[in-house]
Copies of this chain bind each other. A is one copy, B any other.
Amino acid sequence: MEIKLVKDILQANEVIAAQNRELFAQKGVYVVNLMGGAGAGKTTLLERTIERLKGRRRMAVIEGDIATSRDAERIAAHHIPAVQINTGGECHLDGNMVRVGLEQLDFDGIDLLVVENVGNLVCPAEFNIGEDAKVMISTVAEGDDKPLKYPLMFQVSSVLLLNKMDLLPYVAFDVERFRADALRVNPRLEIMPISCTTGQGLDTWLRWLEERTGLQAR
C-alpha cells in the first residue's frame, strides 16, 4: 500500500517533469539539477560559476531550500535572475515545485538555468524536475565511503564534482578509492575534483557547461 502510493507520487512527478522539459526545450535553455548534501558547497559553486560565465552565458537560478531565502539572496547579489522555492519542510524539490518557481522567473534569452536542490544526499535523487543533466557535489570532508553508501545519487548523475580538495591534506580521504567506487556505481560518471576556495578544477567544470550551452550548442 505504501509502496503503491510512492509509485503514484513518482509517476505524477514524471508527468510534470516532462512538461517542464518541453518548456525548457521551447525556450532553448539548458537545465542543470544541482544536488548534494547540506554544506557540500552548492551555493558557493554557483557563485563561482556565475562570476566566470559572466558575459559568456546568460544564467538564471532557482534556489530550493527548506527554510530561509539566504541562498537566493547570495545569488541575487550577482545580478542574475534568481527565484527561491521554500519546500516548507520537504526534503527535495519535485517537478511541481520547480514549475511554480518557473512562473516567477523570466528566462527568455537565458542559456543556462541551474536549479539548486535541497541539501540532502538521498531524496532529491528520486525526483526528476525536467532537467537536462543532474550534477552532484560530494566533498573530501564527507569521507570516501559515500558512493557505495548513498548509491542512487551517484547513479543518476552525469557529473560528480568532488569539492573541497583544498582540505585533502587535513582529512583521511582516499581519492582513488572514492573514484573507483563511484565508477563502479556509475561507469559513465564524469568526476571532476574541484575547490571553490582555490579555484582548482573549475576550468574543467566551466568547459563542461560551456560545451552544453549558448548559441554554438544549439
Interfacial residues, chain A to chain B (CB-CB below 8 A): 2, 5, 9, 37-39, 41, 65-68, 70-71, 89, 91, 118-123, 126, 139, 141-143, 145-146, 148-152, 164, 166-167, 170-171
Instruction: Report the separation of the CA atoms of residues A83 and B119 in the bound assembly, to the nearest whole angstrom.
Output: 28
A-B contact pairs, 16 of them (CB 8 A): A5-B5, A37-B37, A37-B119, A37-B121, A38-B121, A38-B142, A38-B146, A39-B146, A66-B150, A66-B151, A67-B149, A67-B151, A91-B91, A91-B120, A119-B122, A120-B122
Given known A141-B167, A164-B141, contact A149–B91 (CB-CB < 8 A): no
Chain B residues, CB < 8 A from A126: 89
Given known A118-B122, A119-B121, contact A39–B141 (CB-CB < 8 A): yes
Instruction: Report the separation of the CA atoms of residues A156 and B31 in the bound assembly, to the nearest whole angstrom.
Output: 36
Chain B residues, CB < 8 A from A152: 66, 89
Chain multiplicity (copies): 2
Instruction: Report the separation of the CA atoms of residues A39 and B151 in the bound assembly, to the nearest whole angstrom.
Output: 14
Instruction: Report the separation of the CA atoms of residues A149 and B141 in the bound assembly, to the nearest whole angstrom.
Output: 20
Instruction: Report the separation of the CA atoms of residues A130 and B130 in the bound assembly, to the nearest whole angstrom.
Output: 39
Chain B residues, CB < 8 A from A37: 37-39, 119, 121, 142
Taking a contact as CB atoms closer than 8 A, the residue among B122, B151, B164 that contacts A123 in the complex is B122
Instruction: Report the separation of the CA atoms of residues A198 and B145 in the bound assembly, to the nearest whole angstrom.
Output: 21
Chain B residues, CB < 8 A from A71: 149
Chain B residues, CB < 8 A from A151: 66-67
Closest 8 CB pairs of A and B: A39-B142, A141-B141, A91-B122, A38-B121, A39-B143, A37-B38, A37-B37, A91-B123
Asked if residues A148 and B67 are in contact (CB atoms below 8 Å), the reply is: yes
Instruction: Report the separation of the CA atoms of residues A152 and B65 in the bound assembly, to the nearest whole angstrom.
Output: 13
Q: Which residue of B lies closest to A65 (CB)?
A: B149
Chain B residues, CB < 8 A from A122: 38, 66, 91, 118-120, 123
Kindly name the residue among A38, A89, A91, A152 whose own CB sees the greatest number of chain B CB atoms within 10 A.
A38
Asked if residues B142 and A68 are in contact (CB atoms below 8 Å), the reply is: no
Taking a contact as CB atoms closer than 8 A, the residue among B68, B120, B139, B166 that contacts A121 in the complex is B120
